[in-house]
Each structure stands twice: as C-alpha cells, then as structure tokens.
C-alpha cells in the first residue's frame, strides 16, 4: 500500500486503531498473553487447550510469582528474530534442566545454556543476553514487584532496562507490560505490518512514534485498565497478523482492509 495514504498523527488514526482492535477481539476472542507455563496449575482451567501452552484468557493477574516474572523475561528476550514455537522449545529445555531462576541461569555452564536455547536461534548471543538480563532482574525485580503500578514507575524503570545488553525497546516493553503490569505498548513487526497496510502508520516511522500513537489511541481511565487492554491489544495484533499477514497468509483476505477501504 503506498505510504502516502497514511494519515498524519493527530488526525483520524487514533479512533481507527481502537476500531481495528475491537474487531479483532470480536473475531479471535480473549488471548491471555503472556504465556506463563510455570504458573499453569493456578489457572482457572489449567487443562484447557490454550492454557496447556501457558496462556490464561481473561485472567490478568498473572504472573503471580517471581518465577513467572522471570519466565516472561526469558521469553521476551528469546523471541527476538524467531517464532514463538521455537521459544517454547527453548523454555521447555530450561525447565527440563531445572534452570528456572536467574540464579540458576547465572550458575549454569555457558555451553550447556547455549545448547538448551539453540531452538530459539542466535544462541551464542542470546545466552550472553540472558545472563545480562538475569543480573538486571536480581537488581531490579524486588523494587519493581513491590512498587505501585504507575506511568512514573515505567518512565523510571524503562531506561535502566534498555541499558541491558541485548534488550531493545520491543523486548523492554514486553517485559514491563507483561511481567510488571506497567503501562507501555509493545510495537513489534506485526504491528508495523498490519497497521501500515491499514494506512495508519508508515513503515519508516520510529518505534517511539508508533508507540505514542497506540498509547494515545488505546489509553483507558486507570493504569490497571490500560495495562489489561494493552496486553490484550498486542496479543490480538499478533494473532491477526499470523492469520492474514504472515509468510503464508494472503493479506487481501484481511477483513480489516475491507473495512478500511470503505471508510
């Protein structure tokens, strides 16, 4: 779609972003991101089809434990440049080897760690990144866990996390939104692809510009409501993109494109 069709910030995209998310919710239903396998026994229905993969639809109180927060941190880093199915294998390997805490990861043999996370790709780099993230977690998790959720806490915490080796904006926002319930929107490649085709963003726009657009468009009255909505919105975008904007998908069948062309 020609980039010139995209609307300028401050015009109608804000409302159309919300309409698109609402339509996705109608089609796909509750998503229950981020997966937390280590807390599955606490789910309302731990043996449901999605729950068996760690998802928890309509249950926004997860993660409840330190182990769950660390699992999300690991998953957010490992999913860089790979599919979630590969990350799931790597996380399962870590569980099988009883490397489920940052302390256990830091004490693990580096070659063993590389072998375990090999399914997620770039295992030499990611093993080092995980170690750096584990050190951040040990320093920052206690205070983050205890603090009241707020935008101020996000703004204070995000720069520190972005200084961790291997952590970029998407990884940092995934960790802060899902592990710590802080109000920041995750902008991934799917978000750019879907909403560029809807002519609501430009693919050349910076991460922060797109993040700002989505946060303004999807903000809710309270921090808690905003976090829940943004978690679900990001998950819905991923699900929608897999159906209509993945490698084997046919974008012309996207029901959102049809609606956009009629507005």
Tens of each residue's pLDDT in the chain, 263 residues: 333 344 444 444 568 999 999 999 999 999 999 999 999 999 999 999 999 999 999 999 999 999 999 999 999 999 999 999 999 999 999 999 999 999 999 999 999 999 999 999 999 999 999 999 999 999 999 999 999 999 999 999 999 999 999 999 999 999 999 999 999 999 999 999 999 989 999 989 999 999 999 999 999 999 999 999 999 999 999 999 998 887 776 777 788 886 554 44
Q: Which fold has domain 3-30+186-261?
A: Endonuclease Iii, domain 2 (1.10.1670)
Each domain of the chain, given as residue ranges in start order, spans: 3-30+186-261, 62-179
Task: Tell me how far CA of residue 189 lies from CA of 31, 59, 237, in angstroms.
Answer: 19, 26, 10
Query: Which residues are within 8 A (CB) of 246 and not within 5 positions of it... i.e. 6 or more apart?
Result: none
At residue 36, the pLDDT reads 97
Torsion sign (Cα): 39, 95, 32, 152: positive
Q: How far apart are CA 160 and CA 143, in angstroms?
A: 13
Query: Which residues are within 8 A (CB) of 211 and not within 5 positions of it... i.e. 6 or more apart?
Result: 169, 173, 184, 185, 187
Helix, strand and coil content of the chain, in percent to the nearest 5, comes to: 65, 0, 35
Torsion sign (Cα): 198, 203, 204, 210: positive
Residue found by looking up tokens 């879907």 in the block:
194
At residue 49, the pLDDT reads 92
- Would you say domain 62-179 falls under CATH 3.30.300.20? no
At residue 13, the pLDDT reads 53
Provide the terminal-to-terminal Cα distance of the chain, rounded to the nearest Å. 16
Q: How far apart are CA 94 and CA 97, in angstroms?
A: 5
DSSP 179: I
Q: How far apart are CA 99 and CA 77, in angstroms?
A: 16
Count other C-beta atoms under 10 Å from residue 70's C-beta: 24
Q: Fold match between 3-30+186-261 and 62-179? A: no
Task: Tell me how far CA of residue 69 lies from CA of 10, 101, 188, 192, 263, in angstroms.
Answer: 36, 10, 21, 27, 42
pTM for the full predicted model: 0.92
At residue 245, the pLDDT reads 82
């Amino acid at each position: 779609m020609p980039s010139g069709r995209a609307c300028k910030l401050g015009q109608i995209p804000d409302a159309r972003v919300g309409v698109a998310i609402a339509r996705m919710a109608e089609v796909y239903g509750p998503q229950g991101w981020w997966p937390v396998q280590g807390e599955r026994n606490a789910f309302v229905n731990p043996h449901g089809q999605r729950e068996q993969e760690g998802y928890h639809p309509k249950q926004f109180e997860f993660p409840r434990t330190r182990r769950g927060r660390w699992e999300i941190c690991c998953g957010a880093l490992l999913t860089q440049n790979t599919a979630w199915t590969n990350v799931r294998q790597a996380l399962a390997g870590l569980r099988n080897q009883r490397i489920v805490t940052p302390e256990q990861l830091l004490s693990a043999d580096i070659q063993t760690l590389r072998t375990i996370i090999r399914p997620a790709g770039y295992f030499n780099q990611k093993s080092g990144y995980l170690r750096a993230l584990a050190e951040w977690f040990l320093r920052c998790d206690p205070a983050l866990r205890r603090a009241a959720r707020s935008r101020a806490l996000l703004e204070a915490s995000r720069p520190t996390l972005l200084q961790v080796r291997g952590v970029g904006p998407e990884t940092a926002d995934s960790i802060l939104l899902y592990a710590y319930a802080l109000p920041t929107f995750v902008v991934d490649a799917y978000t750019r692809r879907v909403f560029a085709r809807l002519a609501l963003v430009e693919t050349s726009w910076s991460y922060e510009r797109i993040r700002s657009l989505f946060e303004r468009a999807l903000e809710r009255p309270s921090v808690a409501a905003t976090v829940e909505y943004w978690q679900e919105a990001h998950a819905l975008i991923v699900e929608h993109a897999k159906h209509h904007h993945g490698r084997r998908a046919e974008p012309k069948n996207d029901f959102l494109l049809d609606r956009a062309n009629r507005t």
